[in-house]
Structure 1
Amino acid sequence: MTRAETVQLTELLADDAPPAWPAIRDAVRAAERRGVRTLSLPAPAPDEPPAPVEATTLAAAVLRATTELRVVVPLDPARVAPYNAARILATLAHLAPGRVLLADAGTGPEWADYRAAIDHLWHSFPPEAIIADRATGRYLDPAALPGGGYAGSHHRVGGPLNLPTPPGPPLGRWPAADHAADHDKKVPR
């Protein structure tokens, strides 16, 4: 097994019981110890109700329980607006810089516009805008925020994200072109 391997969360869990956090935590930690580099969280089908624990909450818990494992977060544009998606992903990336990936599962112009809106928002609040000057009581320099929002063919957002761009690399996508061959590899439990 190589460190580049990816595993679906469902492949790590026993088939006979509904997953509980201790079982998930233990499974992802064991997978990380075995060299799994990327964990892909399940996404509900468009016609299914949301899962009891949605993927972004689970992603936060998995990121805190592991040290290097990258987590692929599925987001449905029909359920999560671009601003909320960018806010969720940025929050996760502040928790674990460089370890959050967006599941690149959509196709067509609406999905491309959704990704473009998220990317725009990801970079819309540069950390340099925070001045945190206690003497003057100023938290940020609004002039350091890029002007305008995002206006695409399907999505519009009127302003910057309300938290700074996360540290580390830009938001990654999964499957990424350089990891596509690893995406379908199976990893034993």
Structure 2
Amino acid sequence: MSTRQLKLGALTMGVGGPGRHNLWLDPELPSDASVNIDWYIDIARQAEAALFDLLFIVDSQFITPGSPPHYLNRLEPLTLLSAVAVTTRHIGLVGTLTTSYNEPFNVARRLASLDLISKGRAGWNVVTSGDAGTAGNYGRDEHYDYDTRYGRAKEHVQVVQGLWQSWEDDAFVRDRATGRYFDPAKLHALNHKGEHFSVVGPLNLQRSPQGQPVIFQAGDSEQGRELGAAIADVIFTHAPNLEQGQQFYREIKARAVRQGRDPEQVLVLPGAEVFIGDTDEQARELERQYHQADHSFDQALLEFGRSFGWHDFSQYDLDAPFPAQALEHARSSFFTVAKRITDRAVSDRLTLRQAVEASRQLRPGAFVGTAETVATTMAEWFEARAVDGFNLYIGHPAQFRRFTEEVVPLLQEKGVYRREYPGTTLRENLGLAIPRNLR
């Protein structure tokens, strides 16, 4: 058994996220999966039975009629995960909360509550909100610009972590004989005054068995990568192939070292879409069939504007040159992605129709084939230091079952995946150290 073990997360978008508008048509999937707590609990239990590290819940708070079905009607992450917490024992529970439209004290308290409810299994996926329209739901005329979003995010996380250190581990004496409930010397106010936040503290909640929730972060821009290297325990990313995975892995670990951190305490878990068949050829055909069935051109056109601040591209002639001026609408949105799309469209002289088709073009995945093929490829990526593990996209139920029942045992046989949970907290299972209380 390798001392370094592959980590697995289960990332679900219920009835269908981006590029999967028609997933809900699968008869095995409840048509209300995104708001069906029994379905989430079932997914969590399947993942826990397969010794997954965590259940990962993404979120955003702005929708348009072009949004995918899961975005239109879904449960709030921490409410959802609190319900899952009391029906599971080992699996980590990671929820997305934005630093742009939440206050640090509220975030610290909600996540610390989930951490105690779950006995040390909570995680926080830190985002800055790419959907610029979110501003209008929180009384702002404009979304924060990139630099403000990431400056605010770094300070936000630091304040939250400071609040999580309000109480020392043994502060609550609870001595009935003496009538002494707590030791006042082990309670610490924060008294933070910064550029974006002023928070007195302390937090009215004790530390959990894992010290504090695990920090996750995803961001591919320069600011996003630097933020992740500075504050994250786990980086959620995208790796299209082994070589690019290795390049990102080396880069993020080097950035962590420059931040004075131990690179082995910063894990890289890219998202992975898996298709399993009885033969490699059958798996590729399933990949193609699902790709065609789950998304149409008209749906892709509606969704295309998301990276551009939900700019409406239906107003343009589909067969005219790509409207490069639309990039201006992405300044406070997913600018890195929008610029990549625009640059390619301009350089290749694409029409809007061609750009949309390119966005929905099937890009054959790395983890497609028989169970043996998938397990071998995952082990190769892991041993080549392209990843520390994977966040599996949970789509069609039959495919998730095949992964847990067929691929997981093969990963165990290869010695890269556990046969039992090593601990009771998310930090223990991920191999992450408990943060010291510095007060």
TM-score normalised by structure 2 residue count: 0.39
Mapping 1:72-111, distance limit 5 Å? 72-106=94-128, 108-111=150-153
| Contact 1:41–1:55 (8 Å) recurs in 2 | yes
C-alpha spacing 1:12/1:65, structure 2 compared with 1 (3 Å): farther
Residue 76 of structure 2 corresponds to: 54
- Tell me which moved more, 65-74 or 123-132: 123-132
Question: Is this contact kept in 1: 2:173–2:182, CA < 8 A?
Answer: yes
What runs of 5+ residues in structure 2 fail to find an aligned partner?
Answer: 17-22, 26-30, 64-70, 129-148, 218-233, 235-265, 270-386, 401-439
Query: In the alignment, residue 48 of structure 2 is paired with which amino acid?
Result: E
Instruction: Output the CA distance in 1 between the equivalents of 2:119 and 2:97.
Output: 19
1:140-175 per-residue CA deviation (whole Å, 9 max, x = no partner) reads 232321244222321121121001111224321125
What are the superposed Cα offsets for residues 3-49 of structure 1, whole Å, 9 maximum, x if unpaired?
A: 6122212269872411212222112211222343221112124x349
How far apart are residue 184 of structure 1 and its match? 4.8
Tell me the residue number matched to 1:4: 7
Q: Is the 8 A contact 2:7 2:390 kept in 1?
A: no
Describe the shift of the 1:132–1:50 C-alpha distance in structure 2 as closer, same or farther (beyond 3 A): farther
Preserved CA contact (<8 Å) 1:3 1:35 = no
Contact residue 99 and residue 127 of structure 2 kept, 8 A: no
Deviation at 1:64, TM superposition (A): 1.8
Task: Pick from 268, 271, 279 the counterpart of residue 179 of structure 1.
Answer: 268
Whether contact under 8 Å (2:167, 2:207) holds in the other structure is yes
SS at match of 1:108: helix
Distance change (3 Å), C-alpha of 1:88 and 1:157: same
Q: Which residue of 2 aligns with 1:166?
A: 208
- Written as runs of structure 1 = structure 2, the 5 A alignment for 1:12-91 is 15-16=24-25, 17-19=31-33, 20-45=36-61, 47-48=62-63, 53-91=75-113
Larger deviation, residues 27-36 vs 59-68: 27-36
Change (3 A) 1:184 1:92: closer
CA contact (8 A) 2:162 2:190 kept: no
Paired AA for residue 133 in structure 1: D
Question: How many residue pairs are counted as aligned between the two chains?
Answer: 187
The yes-or-no answer on 1:146 pairing with 2:194 is no
Measured in 2, the distance between the counterparts of 1:141 and 1:50 equals: 48
Aligned amino acid, residue 15 of structure 1: W
Mean CA deviation greater in 74-83 or 131-140: 131-140
- How many angstroms apart in 2 are the aligned matches of 1:62 and 1:165? 21
DSSP 3-state at the match of 2:86: helix
Q: Is the Cα–Cα contact under 8 Å of residues 119 and 171 in structure 1 kept in the other structure? A: no
Q: CA deviation at 1:98?
A: 3.5
1:71 is matched by which residue type in structure 2? L
Correspondence for 1:157: 199
> 1:5 and 1:140 mapped to 2: Cα distance?
39
Is the Cα contact below 8 Å between 1:44 and 1:50 reproduced in 2? no
Partners of 2:198 and 2:179 lie apart in 1 by 32
Q: Secondary structure at the match of 1:128?
A: coil
Q: Aligned partners of 1:140 and 1:51: how far apart in 2?
A: 44
Distance in 2 between the 1:161 and 1:183 partners?
34
- 2: distance between equivalents of 1:159 and 1:18? 40
Of stretches 52-61 and 130-139 in structure 1, the one that deviates more from structure 2 is 130-139
Amino acid at match of 2:9: T
Structure 1 gaps of 5+ residues are none
Structure 1 window deviating more from structure 2 (115-124 vs 70-79): it is: 70-79
Question: Which residue in 2 is equivalent to 1:126?
Answer: 168
Q: Which has the larger radius of gyration?
A: 2
Letter in 2 for 1:53: L
Amino acid at match of 2:195: S
Q: CA deviation at 1:100?
A: 1.1
Aligned pair 1:113/2:135, yes or no? no
Report the Cα distance in structure 2 between the residues aligned to 1:158 and 1:167, rounded to whole angstroms: 25
Distance change >3 Å, CA 160–CA 51, structure 1 → 2: farther
Distance in 2, matches of 1:179 and 1:74, equals 17
**TM-score when scaled to structure 1?**
0.83
CA distance in 2, matches of 1:170, 1:162: 14
